[in-house]
Chain A
Amino acid sequence: MTGRRGMFNNFAGRAIVPVAITMTGFVIVCSIILYNLIKKDLVNDTIYHEASLADTIIKATRYAMIKSDRETIDQIVVNIGQQEGVEFVRIFTCGGVIMISSDPAEQEVALGAGNAGCIGCHSGPEPENHLGPLEKARQFTNADGEKVIAITAPIYNEPACFNGACHYHSPSQKFLGILDIGLSQRTLENTLGTLRLQMIAFCLMILVLSVGGVSALLRVNVLSPIRSLMSYVGDVSRGQLDRTPPRGVEEVEYLSKAFLEMARDRSRCEEELEKYRPKDANMTS
């Protein structure tokens, strides 16, 4: 108890502890909130980028779809799927059967309505017709432990589709299929990891600067003058009345002068008492 009391019972402890707690805590809270906001912005940017990529794929394959050129569509999807960072690209029917995929093993596989790619639109009793990019996105970890952001983009029916000579889509059919594309979050995770390290370094620097700054200021402006005052008071009380008082801080100068005057008064009184003491001694003898 005495040790703890001693640690916090001096100027340095009393001034540094509240400043360190306040500064560090507030900076850490703000850093965590800022990190979360930046993370959300980066994830949303990735989703918008992915939605744009999905639209590009749909537009790139549109002509081949109208011409019912399955081989060209297969080739485009496989080539995009081989790009670095693209985990999968697949096109499935509204019934949930994968027609084209960058992974040949997935072709003709039927997905249920509870599948992650379908649940966005099929969560309610009636399927949703329009979802924003953020609602169309989902995040998961694949079998290889890789974090993936995937997005589903509907392929809408259009006059060129149902009026084509070789096609048989009904004009009342809204969607012809769904494009599902998944991108790896590796780059995003690396960026966030670097950001985390930078923020930790920033918090540590703030802590060192605040604690170090307050300590240095206290040492120069308070602790050193008080130590010289203590040393001066000790010397004066031992009788060294000719010692130069400490200078620099107004309050310390005032205290040292007041103490010196008090010590001189006491010394004068003692000298006067000394003068009377022999008389008293003679009187008593």
Chain B
Amino acid sequence: MTTVKPQNISQEANGATADRDRLRRETQERIRFLRRQLRMGMLGMVIFTALSAIAMLNARLLPPLSEKTRQFLGPSPPPTLISIALVVYVFSALTLILARMNREFGTYRGWSHLGYLTSFYVFYYYAGDLGESFWAVFVAGLTILGLENYRIWTSCSEALRDEEEILASLGD
């Protein structure tokens, strides 16, 4: 039969407190990460709206590119091809986001979509068709980023609730 010394009891108590503190810190860190993901979703949407406003103003106010710039950059792809690329992109992006919904949790993937959507605005502007095709890109962006935000929101809010429960049980 082993006897437990008071010194060991205090060491064990100190160890348990340290573990609890470490767990609390980790939980708080995870909560911060999840909240950051949620904020990123909203930020992505705001940036896309701002980019769309700029594209809309450019389509209406700015004159077409000068002949010299066009000669330097080369001929633009036909607007029909850009539209076909847009449809293919929207289809694949939505399919990937829906597939990602089946997984447990993922980080926010909206930044790459912001890049693609801005490229479509630029291509349409260069092809001189932004005025006609603005709404197609805008609705595509709202759909893709809206679905991505929904995915992040559902997964993050669930995980956030679990982490907050853990934090509460640790005695915040």
Contacts and interface: CB of A to CB of B under 8 A. Distances in A.
Interface of A: 5, 8, 14, 17-18, 21-22, 24-26, 28-30, 32-33, 36-37, 39
B3 to A, nearest CB: 37
Nearest to B132: A36
9 contacts: A18-B101, A18-B147, A22-B94, A22-B98, A25-B147, A28-B143, A29-B143, A30-B87, A37-B80
A5 B161 CA distance: 11
B99 to A, nearest CB: 11
Interface residues of B, dominant DSSP: helix
A5 B135 CA distance: 31
Contacts of B151: 18
Contact of A25 (B80, B146, B157): B146
B59 interface: no
A17 B151 CA distance: 10
Contact of B150 (A21, A33, A36): A21
Contacts of A17: 150
Given A22-B94, A22-B143, 14 more contacts: A5-B157, A18-B147, A21-B147, A21-B150, A25-B139, A25-B140, A25-B146, A29-B143, A30-B87, A32-B136, A33-B83, A33-B136, A36-B83, A36-B133
B27 to A, nearest CB: 20
B90 interface: yes
A22 B150 CA distance: 11
Contacts, number: 60
Contact of A8 (B91, B139, B154): B154
Interface of B: 79-80, 83, 86-87, 90-91, 94, 98, 101, 129, 132-133, 135-136, 139-140, 142-144, 146-147, 150-151, 153-154, 157
A245 to B, nearest CB: 30
Query: Which of B79, B83, B86, B151 has the largest count of A CB atoms less than 10 A from its CB?
Result: B83
A71 B145 CA distance: 67
A26 B94 contact: yes
Nearest to B137: A29
A21 B143 contact: yes
A18 B101 CA distance: 10
Contacts of B139: 25, 28-29, 32
Given A18-B98, A25-B142, A32 B147 contact: no
B20 to A, nearest CB: 28
A17 B150 CA distance: 8
Contacts of A14: 154
B108 to A, nearest CB: 16
Given A18-B150, A33-B86, A36-B83, A25 B101 contact: no
Contacts of B91: 26
